Amino acid sequence: MPPHSGYGRLGTLGIATPQANPTAEPEFRALLPRGVSCATVRMHSNIEAPDQRLMAYFEELGSTLSRFDTLTLSAIGVACTGSSYLLGYERTAQLIQALSDKIRTPIITAAGAIEEALLNLGAKRISLVSPYPDWLGEAAKDYWSGRGLELVDCFSLAQTQADTRAIYALDGATAAESINQHWKGIEADAYLITGTGLPTLPFIADLTRITAKPVLTSNLCLAWCCLKTANIEFGEHHPSKEMPLLAGWEAAVARL
């Protein structure tokens, strides 16, 4: 249902992002077709330990989403993959389903959106790139292996960092070059860059031409899955052969 303001004639999607994340919201907005509005809320925690902070984001998600108040939303995307990796599939699914039922609005996590995209593409063998420290990278590997995927390769862009918030300082161009070099010669059904805080939209089209297979990211999958769940047409972002989820968003990225 469109919001009462008159904007978002096709619907309004909500997005919940980690408190210091500078990337998820602009990328999510760039991926939405014309006629779709977006409202944002920040997941907040004063916990310093990064693993406990990430888990608190999901465990306190009900309080976070209550700040949308009476705003009518077609679906809500939760732009944090690390929380799912640490809590695990079962606990995450339990929390999200209970909250979705309570607020009567579909809630989609980034990890859930990635899995839905992989199923949609029939991809079972993936190469995984993350901007995470080793402890969270291992949790990501365990998560996806537990979901029945074959990880043909795993690579961290920042394995020695201590705090996951360091992801926000990673340079997209430098990350793209590292990923490009690493993926040469690696065969997979799909190539996944996890982490909603790493800016990826400016270079995934180029990477797709190199891999000749789909390159997926947390934010790309989340936007696609939210639109799909809300039954909103992709419009000018209708998928293409090269970009099988959403395409035609490059001009929007150039304006960010």
Q: How does pLDDT run across 45-84, given as a tens digit for each residue?
A: 999 999 999 999 999 999 999 999 999 999 999 999 999 9
Query: Of the candidates 180, 169, 167, 172, which has an alpha carbon nearest to the alpha carbon of residue 199?
Result: 172
Amino acid 256 reads: L
Each domain of the chain, given as residue ranges in start order, spans: 11-112+219-254, 121-217
**Is the distance from CB of 212 to CB of 198 less than 8 angstroms?**
no
- The dihedral formed by the CA atoms of 84, 85, 91 and 97, expressed in degrees to the nearest 10: 20
- What are the start-end ranges of the E strands in 137-193? 150-156, 190-193
Judge whether 11-112+219-254 and 121-217 match in fold.
yes
User: Angle 114-159-175 (CA atoms, 0-180°, nearest 5)?
Assistant: 65
Q: Which fold would CATH assign to domain 121-217? A: Rossmann fold (3.40.50)
Q: What is the pLDDT of residue 2?
A: 47
Q: What is the pLDDT of residue 167?
A: 59
Residues 11-112+219-254, CATH architecture: 3-Layer(aba) Sandwich (3.40)
Asked if residue 173 has pLDDT above 80, the reply is no
Please name every residue paired with 216 in a beta bridge, in sequence order, or none if there are none.
192
Q: How does pLDDT run across 84-137, given as a tens digit for each residue?
A: 999 999 999 999 999 999 999 999 999 999 999 999 999 999 999 988 888 999
